[in-house]
Amino acid sequence: MTSMPGPDPANGGPSVFSSATQALLDSVKRAGFPPIHEQPLAQARRSYSLGVGATALPPLPMARVEDFHIPGPAGQIPARLWAASQAPDMPVFLYLHGGGFVIGGIDTCEAMCTVLAQRSGGAVVAIDYRLAPEHKFPAGLDDSFAALQWLAAQGHTRGLDASRMAVGGDSAGGTLAASTALMARDAGIPLVLQALFYPSVQLGMKTESLMAYSRSTLLSWDLMHWFEKQTQGGAQRERWHREPLHAPSHTGVAPAWIGLAQCDPLTDEGHLYAARLREAGVPVVLREWPGVIHDFINMGRFLPEAAQAHDALGEALKQAWAR
């Protein structure tokens, strides 16, 4: 399936960026920072972390902030838990950060995770899964599923209720979350929700959103290609582990909440995945925020839609845990 190119704001097509988004893009352009994919790996990771720190709102104070480790297939997986209370038997949301499987970490999703913990009334756990190129795909997926399995079996040791468990992530983390949800279904691990912010769910399809926004936003075609090149070479067992759109069946997977940005190369993939899930009888709630770009959830200092998205997901988690 291949779509025709849509309008590209960078090449004279009609712009649909919000005024705040356009101002942010103009500011980034004026700053003249080298693109992530043109930096040495260590600097690229630091640049992304510093960038999120400069654009995201600060983390909220929490009643519980706990650093611990989860046993993984290649050693201990660093994890952090946030909760707004000390209540026992809390529902838990496993969050998987974005960054193309190459950059990002607990620190780059902390601000949003604290908001989700406060809004939902549950605990949020994020992990530092292994990154490429040191650890090729599916290393990050293996860590993600190992963390979910541990929460299901041992979460009670942290005061967590495994009968009310959800998984989610953004961008590459959304990919991991979608695949982890499918693996959880196959393993008989019940989930009340899978929450996906602009996930990458397939490779090679030239969608309209990809053609329209891969040259005019921060998620460029060159950056996406660089990410994918870093991840390749691992012992991937199933195509759908990286491309959950192509799973043999989506029947019986957890209900989905999908949050998208209108001006994002990956927007059409989110719509495609929502359609595939609905075809399989999976309940789906899809929200698309107009005028914003990929990674907008980490830009709360500049884009009010970030807080709107955090609140929407927090409420979705709260409702899922109450059912």
Catalytically active residues, by annotation: 171, 264, 294
DSSP H or E segment with residue 165: strand 160-170
For 12, phi and psi rounded to 5 degrees? 90, -5
Q: Are 293 and 15 in contact (CB under 8 A)?
A: no
| Backbone φ/ψ region at 245: left (φ over 0), alpha (ψ -120 to 50), beta | alpha
For 210, phi and psi rounded to 5 degrees? -60, -45
**Quick one: tokens of 43?**
């600097």
Q: How many residues does the chain have?
A: 323
Q: Which amino acid is at 171?
A: S
- The answer to whether the bond into 138 is cis (omega within 30° of 0) is yes
DSSP string computed for 82-150: EESS--SSEEEEEEE--STTTS--HHHHHHHHHHHHHHHSSEEEEE----TTTS-TTHHHHHHHHHHHH
With a CB cutoff of 8 Å and minimum separation 6, the contacts of 132 are 101, 102, 139, 140, 230, 231, 234
**Quick one: tokens of 163?**
């009968």
Q: Which amino acid is at 44?
A: A
**Quick one: tokens of 47?**
């640049």
| Closest alpha carbon to 112 in 71, 78, 74, 82 | 82
With a CB cutoff of 8 Å and minimum separation 6, the contacts of 39 are 47
